[in-house]
Amino acid sequence: MNKRVFLIVLDSLGVGASPDADQFGDVGADTFGSLVRSGELKVPHLEKLGIFKIDGTSFKKESKRKIVGAYGKLEPKSKGKDTTVGHWEIAGIVSPKPMPVYPEGFPMDVIIPFEVATGRGTLCNKPYSGTEAIQDFGVEHILTGRYIVYTSADSVFQVAAHEKIIPIEELYDACQRARDLLVGEHAVGRVIARPFVGTYPNFTRTVNRHDYSLAPPRETILDCLKKNNLATIGVGKIYDIFAGTGITETYPNEGNIKNMEKTIELVKKDFSGLCFVNLVDFDMMYGHRNDIVGYVKALNQVDAQIGKLMASLEEGDLLMFTADHGCDPGFPGTDHTREDVPCLCYGKGFKQGVNLGTRTSFADIAQTIADVLGVEYQGDGESFYEEIAPN
């Protein structure tokens, strides 16, 4: 019988400020709580998995539904709240040092080599909302052909370009050149290609985003599984986040709905190993835009697909849900928020109604996956497999 884990990252779905949120200016952040308080959230399948029973949350309540999953929350241990360190920690690696950030924009010893390498000038060069960056600099970009370069509170070098002004492949090449330049003290977590289309004032970003991440500094659970001849299937931006390391098969991001459809389709695939999925729309389209209504609608849609996914699982499959950080659409600002994340597990034959409590690292997920799939892995977490293992 195949042993399989389906791990889905509900990107940015934090469940409340972490104990060290004061160090990040995020006291009071509560992504899922903001969605609950909208009054429009309808997530019966997440409820059945136990999300409303997680201890120490603003939204904990009694449920009339039978809890069929194991539930708890994970505290972040890495010194950062961005996508890269969040996913690395989920995959078993705690990052002890924060990656570089640029609250004043990038220095000239970064910008000038980038301009020389790409043959194009730059605009903006400051922390900016991505949608506002193309709104404020899009017209000048079209007139001059210069790249819109910006950052955020996270360790990112973002490059925006209109698809009809700069071809996608040229934008991707520019981002790869930036990735090659950004090393040493300027080794940002991700370089991100941010293509957009349209005319002012109706510019919109497209799904052709592409991330160029640092390779993880040491072995992740993905590397370990691949080494043991098990499948590691990435859906969404997983391949990008891990710079392709440890991935045996990849399906690029096409948005939440299609990524979930692909995951449901992959349940029918004959393999042993891990299917690792990222649903980035929650973060990219709603969290960063302070769009509570949009976030709620998107999560309601995915919850319906979760029901289909749960029903399609085979005996022995384990389904896991978590997040990589928060991005509270009801919190001041548009950046990621330092939050604990959910840990929800379900599988036919696995124990039901288990309270996993509050665990001290996202890396516990990787260690648990190692035990489920029967491989030796020395990550930074502690397994909770024995708490959920079939009787």
Name the packing angle between helices 292-312 and 256-266 (round to 10°).
Answer: 10
From CA 181, how far away is CA 157, in angstroms rounded? Answer: 11
Q: Are 87 and 93 in contact (CB under 8 A)?
A: no
pLDDT in tens, 51-108: 999 999 999 999 889 999 999 999 999 999 999 999 999 999 999 988 999 999 999 9
Helices and strands counted in the chain (H then E): 13, 14
- DSSP for 320-372, written as a single string: EEE-SSB--TTSSSSS-B-B-EEEEEE-TTS--S-EEEEES-TTHHHHHHHHH
Residue 159 is predicted with a pLDDT of 98
Q: Which token pair is 116? A: 């020389």
From CA 351, how far away is CA 387, in angstroms rounded? Answer: 8
From CA 50, how far away is CA 73, in angstroms rounded? Answer: 11
Residue 153 is predicted with a pLDDT of 81
Arithmetic mean of pLDDT over the chain: 96
Could you tell me what percent of the chain has a pLDDT over 90? 93
Domains of the chain in sequence order: 4-97+217-388 (3.40.720.10), 108-213 (3.30.70.1250)
pLDDT in tens, 30-39: 999 999 999 9
Written as one letter, the residue type at 201 is P
pLDDT in tens, 236-251: 999 999 999 999 999 9
Q: Token match 């972490």: residue?
A: 18
From CA 13, how far away is CA 86, in angstroms rounded? Answer: 12
* Beta bridge partners of residue 277, listed in sequence order: 8, 235
- SS3 at position 132: helix
All residues at 6 or more sequence positions from 91 whose CB lies less than 8 Å from its CB, including other chains: 216, 220, 221, 222, 242, 363, 366, 379
* CA contacts within 13 A on the Cβ side of 229: 1
Q: Are 29 and 17 in contact (CB under 8 A)?
A: yes
Flag whether pLDDT at 391 surpasses 80.
Answer: no
User: Could you tell me the pTM of the whole model?
Assistant: 0.91
- Residue 104 DSSP code: T
Residue 207 is predicted with a pLDDT of 83
Best CA proximity match to 341, nearest among 102, 161, 149, 83: 83
- Helix H or strand E encompassing 386: helix 385-388
Residue 154 is predicted with a pLDDT of 84
pLDDT in tens, 146-192: 999 999 988 999 999 999 999 999 999 999 999 999 999 999 999 99
Name the packing angle between helices 108-118 and 168-181 (round to 10°).
Answer: 140
- SS3 at position 387: helix
- DSSP for 142-198, written as a single string: HHH--EEEEE-SSSEEEEEEETTTS-HHHHHHHHHHHHHH--GGG--SEEEEEEEES
Best CA proximity match to 164, nearest among 204, 132, 191: 204
All residues at 6 or more sequence positions from 205 whose CB lies less than 8 Å from its CB, including other chains: 130, 131, 134, 160, 194, 195, 196
Residue 117 is predicted with a pLDDT of 98
pLDDT in tens, 272-301: 999 999 999 999 999 999 999 999 999 999
